[in-house]
Each structure stands twice: as C-alpha cells, then as structure tokens.
Chains A and B, each alone.
Chain A
Amino acid sequence: MSKTGFPAAARQALGDTQMRRNVGKATSTIRARRAARVAEVPDWEALRDAGAAIKARAMATMPEQLERLEASVTRAGGKVHWARDAAECNAIVGGIAAGHGARQVIKVKSLATDEIGLNDALAAQGVEAIETDLAELINQLAHDTSSHILVPAIHRNRAEVKLLFEHTIARGQDLGWDITAIAEAARRHLREKFLSVPVAISGANFGIAETGTICVVESEGNGRMCLTLPRVLITVMGIEKVLVEWRDLEVCLQLLPRSSTGERMNPYTSLWTGVRAGDGPEEFHLVLLDNGRTDVLGDELGRQALHCIRCSACLNSCPVYSRTGGHAYESVYPGPIGAILTPQLRGLENAPTLPYASSLCGACYEVCPVKIDIPSVLLHLRGRVVREYKSRVSPEALAMETVGRVFGSQRRYEQAQKLARLGHGPIVAAALPGWSAMRGLPEVPEQSFREWWRSRPARPVRGDGAGP
C-alpha cells in the first residue's frame, strides 16, 4: 500500500461523511462506557501504576522472560519458534500448515498477523485464511483494511454490513435491519468451518513466562472455537506480550476489559498451556515475533510504546482519530498508539508524518491503562524525525533556523515584529500558507506590548517593592 502521509490521507478521510458519522458515534459511545466502568473502580489509578510497572518489568527483563516462556511452553508439550521478521514468521506458519496438508486455516483476530501480511503469504502458497472475528470477516469480504484496533469494521454501519453479507455469505437472503440477524448470518457461515477446519491461527494478548500460559481475550466465542476444536493451533505472539508471572493477570484482566469495551469483563478469556491430552489441539506452536520490536526496545524513551495492551482507549479518546478514522494512519496500528508505534516498528523514514498527527492534547495519556506517556513520545519522535530523517536544508528547517536566530536576539526579534506589522518577515512567511486557507488572520496591532511598555511614564520605584 503506497503511503501518502497523514495530512493528505486525513484530508481524504475527513471528506467521507458516512465514515465520520460512524466513527464519531462509535468513539463517543465507547468513551462514555469506559468512563462509567472506570468510575466504578476506586483503585483505578493504583491499578494503572501497577500495570505500568508490570509492563516495564517485563520489558526490562525480556531475554530472561522469553527463555522462561519457551521452557514452560515446551515442558507442556508445545513447540516454540522464533521469527526475526515478517518473512520468517510467514514461512514458519506456512510450513506448519503445509506440513499438515491444510488448504484452509481458521483465524482469530490478530493484529500481529495483519502486521506481517500473513493471510496474503498463505494465499500465495494456496492456503485460504478464513477470518472468524465478525469485524475481520466484514473487512475480508469487503476487501477492506482494519480501521480500529478493537472494532476493526467500525467505519461501517449496519446498512453497509447488511448489504455486504447479502452479496456474499448470505446471498439471496434478506437479513432485515436487526443487527442480531446480521450477526446470525455470520454464525451460520462460520459454524461449519469451526467444526471441520483442522488448523487454526491466533494471536496472544499475554504470554506468562512463569507458567507458559497464553491468554486470548475476546467476546464472540470464535476465539474459543479456534483455540479448542482444531487439531493444530499456531499462535503468533509479538515478543513484547510476555509477562513475568501469573499474578500479573490480576491487574491486566482488570485494566483491559474496562478500558477497551467499557465492560467489567469481556465474555470469554481463554488461558492455555502447551497441549493437554483429551482437551483441545493435539499440537501447539508458539511463534515469537520480533519484526522491528527490538528497534522499539532500543529507544529508551520510545520503548514504552511496547507496553500497549491493545485496549484502544487512546483511539476512542483522541479528537484526531475520532474524526479521521483509522485508515488515515495507513497502518495496522492507528490512533495515538499507532502514531508512536508504527514509526518505530517500520522505521521513521517510512512514517515521518505520524508523530505530527496530534495536537498534543493529552487525552490519550489520561486514559491509557498502563500510563504510556504518548505526548512525550510523540515529541521525542518529532525530534528524531528532524535529526535523523529530515534534510537540514528543507524549507521548514531553514525557516526554523531563521526564526530561531530571530528569537535568539532582542534586536532581531524587535525588527521582525515591525516587519510582521507590514505583513512581511520570517514569522509571517513561516506561518501564513497553511493558516489563512481556513481562518481569519489577526491583524498585527499598531503597537506591540513592549512598545506600549516603553511609552509609559516612568513609575517611581519603591525600594520595598510595596504597592503603587
């Protein structure tokens, strides 16, 4: 997918009034639900502090935790693979599928597998990956991409989904306008797949090093289906999902549901270790994925982006995301978290506009359950973009240099003020084009503050500094 950059992509998205209505309504609804469920919890701030530390601790000791996780999973009869990048991960997964002669695999929603383009890689070797999450199914049928971390098809309303289904999985039927009937069509279509397809692929919300437990949090039951019924289960897990101990879940399982869907607890959470005779898959593969995560880890300030538990609270609270929707970010990870994670994962040169896709209002930081300081990381990445990627002789860099020198000297500054009054000068030139396309420019007053100050009659200075 060619990238146009956020400003241009956002401009296009902002013109899509249906999407704006859908996303605006969705985000304001979830915001309210989240707020209500969080307000119920008297120790919410203490949970956030614990969550931040739990994540930081896991990142700081990551090599040890990954080795422990591998040992625990292996002990329980699972097989652990390591993938340096997307290609290697796709090859591993494809190899396992091929080894079992699979022509189809069923999938639980996994952002990591979207990130590496797994479905396309499998298709190239003749394996059809069937998405079983309702939203992922919608996007798959519409040949569309996800626009939200949690509710990937939120940019579509029920009318659009109804028509889509009536053209695809429920051909010839009239589904009516009730969302229940629309969801029923998905259920019927997928039931047969759950009962027959022998290989499933999932992601993971958490991987506990101490016990080897993998955790998947979901609502519909398609996760449970994929994790339980097939003979072979392959889980692709980003290395940053590892947690140190079982006890960590007592915090994370409180933070995640309330922050994401605004529920006290999501309908289904599955926790399993390796394989279990007589219960679930006979074969379990865990693929630990790097694909740029170690680059993020290498930036001391930026690495907190890896703490993300994929709740999407930041997306729902963001005044930018709630208007532009997710496609404007041109990434599997949109919104505020995407603006700090994507450039670090993919390389700044591949997403240089994302750190600027924010007014730095701070709403995201307020709601992040693990206290990722997104505004600070955005500023940090802007600095890195300028230092590492931008040319020092770009028009912007030259303008900034000029303005910087003006501000560095009282004389040059006062000169520039006078020029601004005439509609000229470096400050006006730097700011004018983007601004006045949309807003009235204020007139520069005849007399600046300092000129007024100098024109005041001299005031007697009282030595004791008391009143006038």
Chain B
Amino acid sequence: MRVALFITCFNDTLFPQTGRAVVTLLERLGAQVDFPEAQTCCGQMHTNTGYQNRGRSLARRFERVFAGADAVVSPSASCVAYLRENGGGLDGRLAELTEFLVDRLGVEDVGATFPHRVVLHPTCHSVRLMGIGDRPRRLLERVRGIDLVELGNAAECCGFGGTFSVKNADTSMAMLSDKLCDVLDTGAEVCTAADNSCLLHIGGALRRQRAGVRVMHLAEILAAT
C-alpha cells in the first residue's frame, strides 16, 4: 500500500532520524512511502498561541498538499489531533503512526529488536486528547529483547505544551522536574514517546543534567533490528 508521510516541521529540522526510522519501518512492513515536498507545518503553534487565522490557513495548506494521497501517516499525535480539529483531517485519511500500524496495517509485531531498558512516556494527546490509548505500549511490548518498565505518574503532563514552555518557563520547568524524577526512578536507559515535542523537552533536561539517559522516538525503536 502507498502512504504519504507528514514528517512535521520540527521532526524535519530537529529529528530527521525519526523520519528515517518511520520510512525504514513502513518499507519493511511492505508499504510504499511518498513524501510530498511542499509540506511545511500544520499550524498548531500559531493556533495554540492565539494566531488562529494563520493557524487555520496552514491547516488548509496541509489539506491541499496532501489532497492526492489515499493515506497519510505522521509520527506526531499532537499535530494529527490539531489537524483533525481544524479542518485538516483529510476526511479520516490522516493517521498518527501507532494508529496506522495497529489499525490500518493490523500489526503489533513489527519485527523489531531493541535489547535495552525502555520507559514509555504516554503524552497528553495519546492519554486524553486523542484516545490513542495503549497502542504505543502494545507495539513496544512485541519488540524482541526489550525491557519495558512502568513510568510512575505516567499520565502527568511533562510541561511542554508548545509555547507554554516558553511563556511560562518556570511552571514548565517545575512540571518537567517531576517528570524527570519519575523517568530516572525507573532506571531506564531510554525514554521514549510517540511525540518528539515532549521528548525535546524531556531530553533537553536530561542532557542538561548529564543524566546518562537518552530519548528516542518510538519509531526509532520500532525500526531497530
């Protein structure tokens, strides 16, 4: 099957390895991946900051760029949730990565091997706002060699919230501080999530602290063999 990839602006620029992993993974599962190069940003940041006209026009631009695609997948739940609510849902043809794997391709075992201790941070979009539920967990559980550990206070927000992390940096840091404690308490080598926006935030603090724990998008673990 053919699927178009919506990489998202921050993955494109800051986490290209996530995009490479998504492509590797999907091709391994037999999909043919397209990349419409006119894509840029969905507009979530603008809308969430209050610049809603611009945000919606970017959502409309997204619809135009992907108009011809039968299926579109994105490794960012927050962008997918945003597009669905702002007229960019492509009439149901747009899916978040774990939704695509579990629901559209019907797989939970993606043939991955990753022999490391990993903790999953569920993200607010997946826990509450989008109902992704336990799809990320089910996919990870089937990874060979993985030591998947439970995160305490898992459903608590990490404090990123897009521009919140900048406009309310102090409160954002207080929230991040507690999330960090919970991550470090697990003894995991890797903290993963289905969204790099949270990992940008968590990873930044882990690096600052020289904590010896790294962050990886879920797709990178699922692509590993």
Give the Cβ gap from B69 to chain A, nearest Cβ, in Å. Answer: 12
Is B43 part of the contact surface with A, judged by Cβ < 8 Å?
yes
Q: For A14, give its contact among B50, B166, B170, B205 (CB under 8 Å).
A: B170
The one of A14, A408, A435, A468 that contacts B32, using a Cβ cutoff of 8 Å: A468
Contacts of B181 in A (CB 8 A): none
- With A14-B171, A400-B54 given, is the CB distance from A453 to B35 under 8 Å? yes
Given contacts A360-B124, A439-B208, contact A465 B51 (CB under 8 A): no
Report chain A residues within 8 Å CB of B46: 400, 403-404
Check if A441 is an interface residue, CB within 8 A of chain B.
yes
| Number of residues on chain B facing chain A (CB within 8 A) | 68
Per DSSP, chain A at the interface is helix
Which chain B residues lie closer than 8 Å to A427 at the CB level?
Answer: 13
**Given known A356-B167, A439-B204, A465-B2, contact A417–B12 (CB-CB < 8 A):** yes
B49 and A410 form a contact (CB under 8 A): no
A386:B200 contact, CB within 8 angstroms = no
Contact: B167 with A7, CB < 8 Å? Answer: yes
Separation in Å of the A316 CB from the closest CB of chain B? 13
Chain A residues within an 8 Å CB radius of B32: 459, 461-462, 465-468
Q: How many residue pairs, one in A and one in B, have C-beta atoms under 8 Å apart?
A: 197
Q: Taking the nearest CB of chain A, how far is it from the CB of B86, in angstroms?
A: 10
A residues 57-111 touching B (CB-CB < 8 Å): none
**Which of A323, A385, A407, A447 is the one whose CB lies under 8 Å from B41?**
A407
Chain B 6-43, CB within 8 Å of chain A: the 1/0 string?
01010111111101100100010011100101111101
Q: Which of A173-181, A206-214, A361-369 contacts B (4 or more CB under 8 A)?
A: A361-369
Check if B50 sits within 8 Å of A383, measured CB to CB.
yes
User: Counting CB contacts under 8 A, is A357 at the interface?
Assistant: yes
Q: Is the interface of B mostly helix, strand, loop or mixed?
A: helix
* In contact, A14 and B169 (Cβ under 8 angstroms): no
In the assembled complex, A393 has its CB within 8 A of some CB on chain B? no
Expressed in whole angstroms, the Cα–Cα distance for A419 and B38 within the complex equals 19
Q: How far is the CB of A86 from chain B (nearest CB, A)?
A: 29
Further contacts, 11 of them, CB under 8 A, given A7-B167, A7-B170, A445-B13: A7-B168, A383-B47, A401-B54, A404-B46, A407-B61, A408-B61, A431-B166, A439-B176, A445-B15, A445-B17, A452-B19
Q: Which residues of A contact B (CB under 8 A)?
A: 6-7, 10-11, 14, 319-320, 323-324, 355-363, 365-366, 375, 379, 382-387, 390, 396-397, 400-401, 403-404, 406-410, 413, 417, 420, 427, 431, 433-435, 437-442, 444-445, 447-453, 459, 461-462, 465-468
24 CB < 8 A contacts A-B: A14-B170, A320-B175, A358-B161, A359-B160, A361-B128, A361-B157, A379-B48, A386-B51, A397-B51, A408-B57, A410-B38, A410-B39, A413-B41, A435-B165, A435-B166, A438-B173, A438-B204, A440-B207, A445-B17, A449-B11, A449-B12, A449-B16, A450-B35, A451-B16
Shortest 10 CB-CB contacts between residues of A and residues of B: A359-B161, A439-B204, A434-B166, A382-B50, A386-B50, A361-B157, A467-B30, A449-B19, A449-B16, A440-B207
